[in-house]
């Protein structure tokens, strides 16, 4: 599944092509993706100018005066800005025709993404209970330490809770915990204030670096310009079970935590 850096890479790639552009038409090739596509998408969005494209957690919002289109890429979704006349594939589920003549096309073989609508002055229920952005100033070690107080959940599960902080998925949680030297099974409430500070700093640095490198290419993700991301080549523990730790040489272990594979170095992470 595309994680925050992949979604932010997508936003930055689309921004110069869609901001300020008017949506002339919406072509829906199916009535639903993960959820039914609201009628407002076809009824209200055509004719509107996209004032901004924003990322909130792993969602993209196309803001117009009439409301906002809320997009999630799911596990395998991708958005492309294409020249007119590009043939439609079997997994191309909707197009937004822009006043430049180009088409913003959504492709999703698994159909786990979504296209929803947020009316002006409202907050979509999917966004209502989200925590702070990990790159924002209000996400820091003190915040993590306060929220972790008396929590018995493993720190990795805690870090991936979207009500605590958004957008830190399995890959980047594993990498941040390794960087901060924290074992993924350690109870969140037993992580000291100093180590929470190190963890928050690791999350920020790793996400910023991954965004700068174009996201992580895993399975289906490709950035809007058609080029893969490069951060995967630099992963320190994720996907490296049985291989030597890049820091100490001990073997990287894998466990299942919350039905997800978790990778860590038993020597470097305590």
Annotated binding site for DNA: 91, 110, 151
- Cβ atoms < 10 Å from Cβ of 207: 23
Which residue among 12, 22, 111, 260 is the active-site one? Answer: 260
Q: Which helix (DSSP H) or strand (DSSP E) does residue 13 occupy?
A: helix 4-18
Q: Are 218 and 74 in contact (CB under 8 A)?
A: no
Angle at 3 between CA 224 and CA 80, to 5 degrees: 15
Q: Reply yes or no on whether 42 is catalytic.
A: no
Q: Which helix (DSSP H) or strand (DSSP E) does residue 175 occupy?
A: helix 170-180
Q: Reply yes or no on whether 260 is catalytic.
A: yes
DSSP bridge partners of 52:
63
C-alpha 263/C-alpha 177 separation (Å) is 10
Torsion-angle region of 166 (φ positive above 0: left; ψ -120 to 50: alpha; else: beta): beta
> Tokens in use for 72?
């999630």
Q: Reply yes or no on whether 2 is catalytic.
A: yes
Which residue among 21, 55, 58, 240 is the active-site one? Answer: 58
Q: Are 126 and 47 in contact (CB under 8 A)?
A: no
C-alpha 76/C-alpha 7 separation (Å) is 12
C-alpha 15/C-alpha 90 separation (Å) is 26
C-alpha 125/C-alpha 122 separation (Å) is 9
Q: Catalytic residues, which ones?
A: 2-3, 58, 260
């Amino acid at each position: 599944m595309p994680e925050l850096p992949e979604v932010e890479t997508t936003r930055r790639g689309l921004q110069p092509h869609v901001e300020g552009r008017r949506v002339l038409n919406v072509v829906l090739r199916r009535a639903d993706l993960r959820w039914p596509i609201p009628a407002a998408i076809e009824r209200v969005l055509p004719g509107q100018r996209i004032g901004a494209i924003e990322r909130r957690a792993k969602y993209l919002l196309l803001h117009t005066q009439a409301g906002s289109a809320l997009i999630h890429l799911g596990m395998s979704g991708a958005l492309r800005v294409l020249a007119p006349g590009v043939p439609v594939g079997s997994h191309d589920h909707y197009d937004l025709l822009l006043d430049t003549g180009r088409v913003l096309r959504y492709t999703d073989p698994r159909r786990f993404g979504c296209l929803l609508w947020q009316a002006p002055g409202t907050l979509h229920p999917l966004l209502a209970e989200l925590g702070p952005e990990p790159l924002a100033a209000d996400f820091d070690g003190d915040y993590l330490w306060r929220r972790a107080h008396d929590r018995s959940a493993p720190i990795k599960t805690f870090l991936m809770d979207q009500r605590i902080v958004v957008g830190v998925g399995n890959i980047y949680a594993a990498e941040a915990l390794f960087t901060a030297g924290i074992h993924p099974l350690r109870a969140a409430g037993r992580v000291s204030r100093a180590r929470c500070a190190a963890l928050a700093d690791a999350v920020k640095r790793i996400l910023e670096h991954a965004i700068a490198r174009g996201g992580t290419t895993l399975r289906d993700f490709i950035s809007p310009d058609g080029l893969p991301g490069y951060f995967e080549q630099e992963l320190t523990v994720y996907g490296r079970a049985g291989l030597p730790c890049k820091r100490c040489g001990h073997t990287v272990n894998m466990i299942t935590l919350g039905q997800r594979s978790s990778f860590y170095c038993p020597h470097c992470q305590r």
